[in-house]
Amino acid sequence: MRFKGIIFDLDGVICFTDKYHYKAWKALADKLGIYFDEEINDRLRGVSRMASLDIILERSEKKYSEEEKLRFAEEKNELYRDLLAEMSPSDISDEVRKTLSALRERGLKLAIGSSSKNTPLILKKTDTAKYFDAVSDGNNIAFSKPDPEVFLKAAGFLGLKPEQCLVVEDAFSGIEAGVAGGFATAGIGPASQYEKTDYPLNCFADLLKTPIE
List contacts with ligand B16 (CB under 6 A): 9-12, 21, 44-49, 52, 77, 114-118, 138, 171
Helical pair 49-57 and 66-84, crossing angle rounded to 10 deg: 110
Task: Provide DSSP, 152-184.
Answer: HHHHHHHT--GGGEEEEESSHHHHHHHHHTT-E
Please pick, among 11, 18, 91, 170, the residue that the annotation labels catalytic: 11
Task: Work out whether 170 is an interface residue with Mg ion (CB under 5 A).
Answer: yes
Task: Work out whether 11 is an interface residue with Mg ion (CB under 5 A).
Answer: yes
The residue range among 24-32, 45-53, 86-94, 136-144 that interacts with Mg ion, by the rule CB under 5 A, is 45-53
User: What are the two backbone dihedrals, phi and then psi, of residue 11, each rounded to the nearest 5 degrees?
Assistant: -70, 120
2 with 213: CB under 8 angstroms?
Answer: yes
Looking at the Cβ atoms of 11 and 149, the one nearer to ligand B16 is 11
Q: Which one of Mg ion, ligand B16, none is in contact with 176 (Cβ closer than 5 to 8 A by kind)?
A: none
Task: Work out whether 176 is an interface residue with Mg ion (CB under 5 A).
Answer: no
Our answer to whether residue 206 is catalytic in this structure is no
Minimum CB separation from ligand B16 for residue 102, in Å? 22
Of positions 34, 41, 46, 53, contacts Mg ion by CB under 5 A = 46
Our answer to whether residue 133 is catalytic in this structure is no
CA 8 – CA 107 distance, rounded (Å): 16
Compute CA distances 1 → 60, 99, 109, 132, 206, whole Å.
51, 18, 12, 20, 18
Task: Work out whether 146 is an interface residue with Mg ion (CB under 5 A).
Answer: no
Q: Which one of ligand B16, Mg ion, none is in contact with 192 (Cβ closer than 5 to 8 A by kind)?
A: none
Where are the strands (E) in the chain, listed by range? 5-8, 109-113, 134-136, 165-169, 184-187, 199-200
- Contacts to Mg ion by CB under 5 A: 9, 11-12, 46, 170-171
Residues annotated as part of the active site: 9, 11
